[in-house]
Structures are given as C-alpha cells and as structure tokens.
Structure 1
Amino acid sequence: MLDVRQLTIVQDGRRLWDSVSFQVRAGERQGISAPSGFGKTTLGRVLAQWQAVTSGSITVDGKSLPKKGYCPIQLVPQHPELTFNPYRTTGDSLRDAWSPDAAWLERLAVNPRWLMRRPDELSGGELARIALLRALDPRTRYLIADEVTAQLDAHLQAQVWQVLLEEVQRRELGLIVFSHNPALLDKVCSSIWRPQQASAL
C-alpha cells in the first residue's frame, strides 16, 4: 500500500499541498481531478522522488522510499520530452530502466525505429508512449499517469488505456491518474478525488 501522511509541499514560496494524507492500495485506480496550476504535477514529482518533500512521509508497504536505485513509484509526466536526455537515443534512456521485448513495443504501438532516435526527432505522442513503456518496468508498484494520453488520437488512447488497465489487474499495480477529462476518469478509475472540494483523499 502507498501511504502518504501529512504531506506538505511548498514551492517558490507557495504552499501547494498542506498536510495531505491518503492511501492507494495495490490494484486500486485512483483519479485526481483539479484545475491547471493546482499542483497535481508537483505532487506526482514528489511521490516519484523527482522533487524533495517539504514535510510529511511517503511509504510503500510500510517502508520509506529508497534513497538510491529504482523507485517503486513511477511518474509519466504530461510533458515527457522533459524526461529524456536530449543527447541520447530514446532507446538508451529506455534501457536504463529495463529492456522490453518486441511484444511490449507492439502493445503500446511503439515503432522500434523510434528507439534509435533522439527525443527532438519524435513527436510528443511518440515520446509519451516510450515514457510509459519505461515506467512499466517490472519493478514498478505504483504508476502515476499525468495526462498520459492527451497527445494521442482516440484510437491510440483506447489502446494505451487497455494495456494500462490490463497491467493494473495482472500485476496489481496501484494507478494514480491526473486528468482534466472527467469522462476518462469515470471510465478508468475506481474512485476520484477532487481536492478543491476536500482536504484529504
């Protein structure tokens, strides 16, 4: 279980989250809906250890997150181009985490040729699928999807969400979905938190 207790995040002098506590269980699909600028992306960055927490604790199965090595909470951000080294191929960045086989590439509609290119040679939608594939490392326990399919057409969105939901069920992944699309949240999430209407999840 992902257990967040009394989490406070202050950024640039602004208190984005104040003493927030919530839990996400293995296999649970939790949606978070809030306006732009509310701090959803920053919350995701803190949970995935991309950014330091101001105060509070984040544990998985009662254990603190590792200071080094692979984090069991992975974030696929809204702007995946910012998470790739511009001087390396996307395949090199992917293999830093794990080496998915051809079947995995097909499931997420990733063209193997994209893995031989640098990030600036690919579209946002192409990078989003590679970033998602990277985050689905077998070691991942909780996945944060921040507008992860926003840059895809309807057909590809459906394909990607089908894969994600299959993995949630098969691996009992905890899934946290950030989206401005209420219809999507209603369809893929078992519960939805709207923090502008509540103080805690």
Structure 2
Amino acid sequence: MNASAERRVVAGPAGAIECVVEEPAVAARGVAVLCHPHPLHGGTMDNKVVQTLARALRQVGWRTVRFNFRGVGGSAGRWDDGRGEVDDALAVIAAVRDAALPLVLGGFSFGGYVAAQAARRVDPPAARLVLVAPATGNFDVGAVPDDTLVVHGDADDVVPLAATLAWARPQALPIVVVPGVGHFFHGQLPLLKSIVVRAFAA
C-alpha cells in the first residue's frame, strides 16, 4: 500500500467489511469505490486489475476505496449469490461517501456487475461508472448510463467479448476493446491504466 493508505472497517449487513482508503497526491476531486472479482474464484480487493483501477483514478485526483466482499479476507459473512455483495457495496458507499464530492463506482468482472447494480440504488447518483470486463455472461448487469467507461479484452475467455457486446448493443453503449488481451489483462495493466487515466482526465 502507498503511504496515504488507511485500513478501515465498515459496518455491513453481514458484519464487518474490510476496506482500504487511499488518497491522491492532490486534494481529492471525488471518491471512487471499486469492487473486486468473484469471491469464489479468488477475487479480493488486492486483485491486480482492481489495484490498477485505483492507481489510475488516484493519478487523476480521486480518493479510492477498495473493499472485500463478505467472507473474503477480514470481511465477515459468506457468499450470497451477488445479492448480499451489492448490499456490501452500498454499505461501503454510505460509509465513505463525501456529500461535497462526486462519486465514481467501478469494478472488474463480477465487481462490474456489483458496481452497476449499486449505481441503480445510490442517491444522489454516481457521477460515472467504470467497468472492466463486466460479468455480462453470468449476471444480469442491466443498463448503465451512456457515459460509462467499459473496457474489455477481445481474447477474454472468462467473459467473452461477444457477451458484453450483446449487452451493450441495445444501449448503443461504446466499448473500449483491447486487442489480444484476456480477462485478467496479463502484461497489459499499464495499458488499462492509461485508458482509465485518459477517460477521467478529459
């Protein structure tokens, strides 16, 4: 963790939720809450894609919050088929949100599904969503705002690009497709970071 990182425990519906809050080098322009991939397949808040999202957003001035879903790491509870995990995200958002600052929600894979679901229930709404290889093949991600940043590798063998295109097509939602990249962006994390930095610095 960087020097500005702070570990926190948030009260969640299934018990304690373990979080890491990290500050940018400048005064925060907003708060970004980031959701990790599937807990039953090794997903944690320390996943490299989630950490890359956090680094990118801090670079452009956002305070970032990563957390472990119920039953992962130091978070209490157990897997709840995605329902309770959305509730976990909402509890974290409520605990760390700053009324004076905009909110970004983001996630990778299953975490993208959770972020999209949570975005429907937060009030006031999030300023923007960023989803990396959202789990469109296995979960009903639903519609998202038209300024959502979606990044997907065309060699993804976990969530096929075709599934995400089929989800995006009725929404006329643009997708940033990265050629030759698989689900976990192995060897291409700097490229992912640069895509997010460019999108949020604009």
Give the structure with the larger helix fraction.
1
The answer to whether TM tops 0.5 is no
Q: What TM-score, normalized by structure 2, do the two folds share? A: 0.35
Largest Rg, 1 or 2: 1
* Bigger RCO (CA 8 Å, 6+ sep): 1
